[in-house]
């Protein structure tokens, strides 16, 4: 009956159809692209992003700008894509195991710290060099997009190679959990500084940064602490209702509520979504009620399969390949790729102890994947002095960096472990 409901709105009549059509086209195209690249041993996010780039750059020349206008100008599709980001970060929080940090101790912490700070500083410097007319906050935001690692891509490769339980695998996965947390804190600080500067505030002043940092740490600390105490009572309470799917409903409600709460205190909404996942399942054990055969993370799969690919294909559509024709932007993309590779390879310096394949640890931290795209998407949506923090050219250069690091990391990780086995033999 949605057509009848919208029809009663007069001016809204007929607008629901293009939304449904756009959703159908984008989701099917994204899934097709994901399946194709998976057959080549690559993560599905790579295919979804490439499909978006193809749609955004091939349809306008063939059919004119109207060929893609129903997507680029459709706010509803972008709202659904934003929901996909929240669901994705909620799922990442559910699967994160905070105990993984304790298993390898200082190595994971140092690898994560090096993996955040070195790429951030390298990207900041590269942007300041190649985008001299941009604001300092733009330079910092470019650096931030280089800082976070996609644990999902690395975890999948480690599982395929049977290396999850090795010391290298445990260091990478433990560091990736800390990397997620630190990366979101960095995002909170920088996006908060942008918001403050946009309203005439101090921007990157030490006092402003300290305030945002304190809010982010307290928010994550309180939610994780509360979750450790209340996650099991919450599951038992959900089980008493006797209704199938009640845990999924409660989990999503908590995800969206904490995302809203994070925005209220000046943090990015994805921090709240991630915190909700950590709150319900801080050890990644897979919570479920007695009546549920699937865990909450498994119950989320239909939603992630629908909304998450929508986000990635829309990010691809926003890329204008024509902007990469500019020598300056193409150079920026190439330099960011080098900074991204060098910054994460430096993670090897954080490994404590002997007998560890440091090269594998560094390569395992390289892929930016979905996390880098989320950071870039937020940067493109924030405005300062009437302009987006990340220009069209800078956004395209960052997406190019994400594509290359996502493509190289699985291949490099397999090579590093094979090389280590050959040396040992």
What are the sequence ranges of the domains in the chain? 17-424
Which DSSP state fits 326? S
Give the model's pLDDT for residue 195: 80
Band (421; pLDDT cuts 50, 70, 90): confident
Other beta carbons within 10 angstroms of residue 315's beta carbon come to 26
Give the model's pLDDT for residue 10: 44
Residues 329-361: tens digit of each pLDDT: 999 999 999 999 999 999 888 888 777 888 999
Residue 296 contacts residue 287 (beta carbons within 8 Å) = yes
The C-alpha angle with vertex 61 and arms to 60 and 62, in degrees rounded to 5, equals 90
- What dihedral do alpha carbons 396, 143, 74, 312 form, nearest 10°? 70
Residues 224-282: tens digit of each pLDDT: 888 778 777 877 777 777 677 788 888 899 999 999 999 898 888 888 998 898 888 77
Residues 203-228: tens digit of each pLDDT: 667 777 788 888 888 998 888 888 77
Give the model's pLDDT for residue 11: 46
Long-range contacts of 72-80 (CB under 8 A, 24+ apart): 72/317, 72/318, 74/18, 74/19, 74/22, 76/19, 77/19, 77/22, 77/23, 77/26, 77/310, 77/314, 78/314, 80/23, 80/307, 80/310
Give the list of residues 6+ apart from residue 303 with CB closer than 8 angstroms, or none. 87, 252
Q: Which residue has the higher pLDDT, 66 or 404?
A: 404
Give the model's pLDDT for residue 407: 87
**Alpha carbons 392 and 388: distance in angstroms, whole number:** 9
Residue 292's SS3 state is: coil
Determine whether domain 17-424 maps to CATH 3.30.70.380. Answer: no
Give the model's pLDDT for residue 125: 96
**Alpha carbons 231 and 194: distance in angstroms, whole number:** 35
Residue 48 contacts residue 314 (beta carbons within 8 Å) = no
Three state DSSP letters for 17-81: HHHHHHHHHHHHHHHHHHHHHHHCCCCHHHHHHHHHHHHHHHHHHHHCCHHHHHHHCCHHHHHHH
**Alpha carbons 399 and 52: distance in angstroms, whole number:** 11
**Alpha carbons 390 and 319: distance in angstroms, whole number:** 12
Band (8; pLDDT cuts 50, 70, 90): very low
């Amino acid at each position: 009956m949605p057509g009848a409901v919208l029809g009663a709105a007069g001016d809204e009549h007929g607008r629901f159809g293009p939304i449904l059509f756009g959703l159908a086209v984008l989701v099917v195209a994204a899934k097709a692209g994901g399946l194709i690249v998976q057959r080549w041993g690559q993560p599905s996010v790579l295919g979804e992003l490439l499909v978006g780039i193809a749609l955004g750059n091939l349809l306008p020349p063939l059919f004119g700008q109207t060929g893609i206008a129903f997507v680029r100008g459709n706010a509803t599709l972008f709202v659904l894509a934003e929901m996909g980001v929240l669901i994705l970060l909620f799922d990442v929080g559910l699967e994160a195991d905070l105990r993984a940090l304790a298993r390898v101790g200082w190595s994971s912490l140092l690898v994560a710290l090096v993996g955040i700070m070195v790429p951030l500083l390298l990207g900041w410097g590269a942007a300041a060099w190649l985008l001299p007319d941009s604001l300092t906050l733009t330079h910092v935001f470019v650096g931030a997009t280089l800082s976070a690692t996609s644990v999902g891509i690395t975890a999948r490769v480690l599982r395929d190679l049977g290396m999850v339980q090795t010391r290298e695998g445990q260091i990478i996965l433990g560091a990736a959990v800390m990397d997620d947390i630190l990366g979101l804190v960095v995002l909170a600080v920088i996006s908060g500084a942008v918001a403050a500067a946009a309203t005439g505030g101090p921007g990157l002043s030490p006092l402003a940064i300290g305030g945002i940092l304190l809010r982010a740490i307290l928010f994550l600390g309180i939610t994780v602490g509360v979750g450790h105490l209340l996650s099991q009572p919450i599951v038992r309470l959900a089980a008493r209702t006797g209704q199938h799917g009640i845990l999924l409903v409660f989990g999503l409600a908590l995800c969206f509520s904490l995302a809203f709460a994070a925005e209220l205190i000046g943090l990015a909404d994805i921090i709240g979504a991630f915190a909700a996942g950590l709150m319900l399942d801080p050890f990644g054990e897979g919570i479920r009620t007695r009546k549920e055969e699937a865990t909450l993370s498994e119950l989320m799969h239909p939603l992630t399969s629908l909304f998450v690919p929508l986000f990635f294909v829309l990010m691809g559509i926003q890329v204008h390949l024509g902007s990469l024709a500019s020598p300056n932007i193409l150079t920026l993309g190439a330099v960011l790729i080098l900074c991204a590779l060098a910054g994460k390879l430096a993670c090897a310096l954080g490994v404590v102890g002997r007998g560890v394949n440091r090269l594998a640890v560094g390569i395992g931290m390289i892929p930016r994947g979905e996390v880098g795209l989320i950071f870039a998407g937020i940067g493109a949506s924030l405005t300062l002095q009437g302009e987006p923090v990340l220009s069209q050219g800078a956004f395209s250069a960052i997406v190019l960096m994400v594509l290359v690091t996502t493509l190289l990391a699985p291949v490099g990780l397999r090579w590093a472990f094979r090389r280590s086995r050959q040396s040992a033999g």
